[in-house]
């Protein structure tokens, strides 16, 4: 059956209504080799990625993730019956993705190991119908980890507190990568970005709004901020009893649409 490009997706009206909610409270199981994928500290549920992919694409469409991590987007694309392509700078994460595909008997898409800025330039312009990615926090690789000690460290966006690398450099890097992904995205199609807020240095950082502001005036127009309430998150009592510090249980999913060609 030919794809009706006047329609955004293959959802029914009731499914569309459900996914128009601005807050996602649906619980997602810790499946698809969750323990293995959790070696990466920021992995996202593949079934959440599957749901988002179904909202913004038709069956058989191509999906891109320029910061693939352990492959949440790529696994979600396989579950949804889409094509996909990933880029990941840390070889260990790409290895885990391929191992998960083998164990789960899922289609394994290409996940190139390299710097996203270099690899995106090699992709054919306007060859994807959706971009879904998860931005790395600007200083998480320099902070103490609670995940497995064997975890490989991401080389992307490393923040050196002693050298004083400012958040503005992280924002500039993320903007460059997202605009590179936009070049590979078909016009009038969508790009969605996971980005969590942070509490660091005795200050709350609204990273989602800062990323959105960094893209103002570009080919990417902000269309929505979906809030994913992660029901699996444990509550932690920070600052008790003298100061209020939030226990962050949500992530922002910024949704942009490519409205014009990206700058050359």
pLDDT per position as a tens digit, 213-263: 999 999 999 999 999 999 988 888 888 899 999 899 999 999 999 997 655
173: helix, coil or strand? helix
185-195/250-258 β-pairing? antiparallel
Which pLDDT belongs to residue 232?
A: 87
Detail the DSSP E strand segments found in 114-230: 128-134, 185-195, 198-200, 203-205, 220-229
**Residue ranges of domains in the chain, CATH in brackets:** 22-258 (3.40.50.150)
- Backbone dihedral region for residue 105 (phi beyond 0: left; psi -120 to 50: alpha; all else: beta): left
Query: pTM to 2 decimals?
Result: 0.89
Q: Which residues pair with 225 in a beta bridge?
A: 254
Low-confidence ranges of the chain (pLDDT < 70): 1, 138-165, 261-264
241 upstream amide cis, omega within 30 of 0? yes
In whole angstroms, give the CA distance from residue 6 to residue 97: 34
Q: Which residues contact 205 (CB under 8 A, 6 or more apart)?
A: 167, 197, 198, 199
């Amino acid at each position: 059956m030919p794809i009706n490009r006047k329609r955004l997706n293959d959802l029914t009206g009731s499914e569309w209504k459900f996914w128009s909610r601005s807050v996602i409270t649906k619980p997602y199981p810790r499946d698809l080799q969750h323990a293995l994928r959790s070696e990466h500290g920021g992995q996202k549920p593949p079934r959440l990625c599957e749901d988002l992919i179904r909202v913004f694409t038709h069956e058989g469409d191509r999906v891109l993730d320029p910061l693939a991590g352990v492959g949440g987007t790529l696994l979600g694309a396989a579950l949804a019956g889409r094509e996909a392509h990933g880029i990941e700078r840390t070889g260990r994460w790409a290895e885990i993705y391929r191992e998960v595909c083998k164990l789960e008997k899922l289609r394994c898409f290409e996940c190139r190991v390299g710097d996203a800025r270099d690899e995106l330039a090699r992709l054919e312009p306007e060859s994807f119908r959706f971009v879904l990615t998860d931005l790395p926090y600007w200083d998480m690789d320099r902070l103490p980890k609670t995940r497995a000690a064997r975890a490989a460290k991401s080389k992307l966006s490393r923040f050196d507190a002693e050298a004083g690398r400012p958040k503005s450099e992280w924002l500039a890097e993320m903007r460059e990568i997202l605009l590179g992904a936009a070049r590979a995205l078909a016009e009038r199609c969508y790009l969605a970005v996971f980005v969590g807020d942070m509490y660091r240095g005795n200050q709350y950082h609204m990273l989602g709004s800062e990323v959105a502001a960094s893209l103002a005036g570009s080919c990417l127009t902000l269309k929505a901020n979906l809030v994913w309430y992660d029901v699996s998150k444990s509550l932690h009592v920070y600052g008790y009893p003298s100061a209020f510090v939030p226990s962050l249980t949500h992530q922002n999913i910024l949704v942009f649409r490519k409205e014009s060609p990206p700058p050359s």
